Amino acid sequence: MSEPITPLQDLLLLLDLERVEEDIFRGTSRPALIPRVFGGQVAAQALVAAGRTVPGDRLPHSLHAYFLRPGDPGAPIVYTVDRIRDGRSFTTRRVVAVQRGRPIFHLSASFQTHEEGLEHQERAPYAPDPLTLPTAAEMLPRYADRFASPDVVDRLLEARAAVDLRYVDDPPFARFGEPREPKSQVWFRTNGKLADDPLLHVCLATYVSDMTLLDSVLLAHGRGGWAVGDVVGASLDHAMWFHRPFRADEWLLYDQESPTSQGGRALARGRIFTQDGQLAVSVIQEGLVRVPRPRD
């Protein structure tokens, strides 16, 4: 009898797209807490599709994406790659994700060969050792009474089982109704070792980058979040810049903040540092954040 696959193996299978034709790939989804495809999943799958049409010595240095329609977790997603440019140092790809004949997401990604050059970076912020912080399995049950349904904790744990994600401070749903500084930090790494494939590590960081980025918006207004039901939200666009090599199976600090919210939209930005303080990734996202109107 074969051993059951681990959550990380299941996530890796999710990112292992089926090649339908030379530049066309097909992916599936996993059930999510909300009835639509998780944004980090479709972004990571699109980057996988783009990367499979690029020479192995060129890695992503940036991506820019728009979420066009909510994806249906029960339907396959077809990713079509356009080979926009193949230069001497840079390669550009555009990917459109389609369900039932309608685009739900599109991404532009640029890849570069390794070069030496001038270097500087901002200093990494302070954060406690991740091993001193509670795991999700230790932390989430403490707040079970915050959620409308008793099974939300189990569903959250299942959705994040492939990734060890630890909040430095209380998550938004822990202190509902108490506005705080719009800043949030989490440590994360995959729950298991990964192959030595740099593209895979970049795609997994892309997947995780959409999990908590809008938390800082919620903190500013004392809102509990999507699982609590006091706000309605969705990613609108997402941009990432990959500065230095990193491994997604080693601890990464995701430092996040929100400079503004208005008009039903909010901006959040993040920086991902390695445990030794190297700035690895920069992230910016605009999200839809609406407060449900009370029914008459």
Residues with catalytic roles? 210, 235, 285
Tokens linked to 24: 């066309």
Q: Is-contact 125 255, C-beta < 8 A? A: yes
- DSSP structural state of residue 146: G
Sign of the CA dihedral with 223 first, then 226, 229, and 233 last: positive
Structural element, H or E, at residue 157: helix 152-159
CA angle 42, 56, 113 (to 5 degrees): 100
Q: Where are the alpha helices (DSSP H) in 165-237?
A: 198-209, 215-221
* Spatial distance between the Cα atoms of 155 and 202, rounded to a whole number of angstroms: 26
Spatial strand order of the sheet with 252-262 comes to 18-21, 24-27, 77-86, 90-99, 102-113, 58-67, 232-242, 279-290, 265-274, 252-262, 183-190, 163-167
* Spatial distance between the Cα atoms of 12 and 278, rounded to a whole number of angstroms: 26
Residue 291 burial (CB < 10 Å; 0-12/13-18/19+)?
exposed
Tokens linked to 139: 């932390």
